[in-house]
């Protein structure tokens, strides 16, 4: 009863595995239904309707409403999904081989399901579009950030690739569009201590031993009629703290264009796809775990504020 994988009778829906509910070792409940009523935030009538529709399964198939409670067992079901604003941009495949897939993620698409974003995530779309039910990310990009993200195709390979990131054997470069300051002095290495507190959307820099490091370089700059003096920056992070690149450019006095968190939080609707954050994960490099040969993947995306500044500036 305690198998980890979902039962064959309840396949993924929209690329999402069903939720697993473990049944505690107890004789407190006579039926599975009695236990479910106390576990899920639904009325008894809603739970009964789900049983009637065959939505609760064990490893043998759908459970009837009077199915006896099995101490230590498991039950699977698909949760109701939140209403989501469709993200009108495709997630593309930049690289694929037998063990990994590198997605070229658009702005506004979250990497994995979380909170109000479930179906409109790169993971769910890729699982559904490419028939890869066990696909999982080896790392993540923030929802506003576009660019390359590494996914692992098979469950048994997940740890191998996650360990590459843990051991800092993966190299990443980003590009950003931000104001240009001739007095900035680049290339420059920015080091600071960044903390992110649970329940607070922004991270912050505090005094103390640095735990975040970014190499900042100016690739080119110009005076633009719509945006003023702007530059295209290359950012090479040597650590991976939450919002590290956004904080480090902001601390230099050149916040990334389109940033709704730094230097101040701005309220923008989830269905407002104008003026995306001008931050792009440009390259991703790692040693192949089998051969140790280097693999490098490049994003094919472009940052709008550099290519079409007037169009980008027409946003909010």
Kindly list the catalytic residues.
Answer: 142
Spatial distance between the Cα atoms of 43 and 266, rounded to a whole number of angstroms: 37
Spatial distance between the Cα atoms of 276 and 16, rounded to a whole number of angstroms: 27
* 200, two tokens: 């607070």
Spatial distance between the Cα atoms of 221 and 182, rounded to a whole number of angstroms: 10
As to burial, measured by CB atoms within 10 angstroms (0-12 exposed, 13-18 middle, 19+ buried), residue 72 is exposed
| Residues in Cβ contact with 300 at an 8 Å cutoff, skipping those fewer than 6 apart | 92, 94, 104
Spatial distance between the Cα atoms of 23 and 74, rounded to a whole number of angstroms: 6
Spatial distance between the Cα atoms of 310 and 293, rounded to a whole number of angstroms: 43
């Amino acid at each position: 009863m305690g198998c980890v994988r979902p039962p064959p009778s309840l396949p993924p829906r929209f690329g999402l595995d069903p939720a697993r509910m473990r049944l505690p070792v107890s004789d407190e409940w006579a039926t599975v239904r009695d236990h479910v009523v106390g576990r899920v935030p639904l009325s008894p009538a809603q739970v009964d309707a789900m049983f009637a529709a065959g939505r609760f399964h064990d490893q043998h198939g759908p459970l009837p409403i009077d199915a006896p409670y099995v101490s230590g067992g498991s039950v699977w079901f698909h949760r109701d999904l939140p209403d989501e604003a469709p993200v009108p941009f495709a997630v593309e495949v930049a690289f694929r081989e037998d063990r990994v897939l590198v997605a070229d993620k658009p702005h506004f698409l979250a990497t994995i399901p979380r909170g109000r974003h479930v179906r409109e995530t790169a993971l769910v779309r890729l699982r559904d579009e490419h028939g890869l039910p066990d696909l999982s990310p080896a790392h993540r990009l923030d929802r506003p950030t576009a660019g390359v993200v590494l996914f692992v195709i098979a469950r048994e390979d997940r740890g191998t690739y996650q360990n590459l990131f843990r051991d800092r054997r993966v190299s990443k470069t980003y590009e950003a569009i931000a104001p240009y300051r001739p007095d900035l002095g680049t290339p420059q290495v920015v080091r600071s201590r960044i903390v992110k507190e649970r329940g607070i959307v922004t991270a912050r820099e505090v005094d103390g031993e640095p735990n975040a490091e970014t190499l900042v370089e100016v690739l080119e700059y110009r005076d633009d009629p719509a945006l003023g003096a702007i530059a295209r920056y290359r950012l090479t992070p040597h650590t991976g703290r939450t919002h590290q690149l956004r904080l480090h450019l902001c601390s230099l006095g050149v916040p990334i264009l389109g940033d709704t968190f730094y230097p101040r939080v701005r309220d923008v609707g989830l269905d407002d796809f104008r003026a995306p954050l001008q931050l792009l994960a440009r390259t991703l490099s790692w040693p192949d775990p089998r051969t140790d040969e280097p693999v490098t993947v490049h994003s094919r995306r472009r940052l709008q504020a550099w290519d079409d500044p007037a169009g980008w500036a027409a946003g909010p």
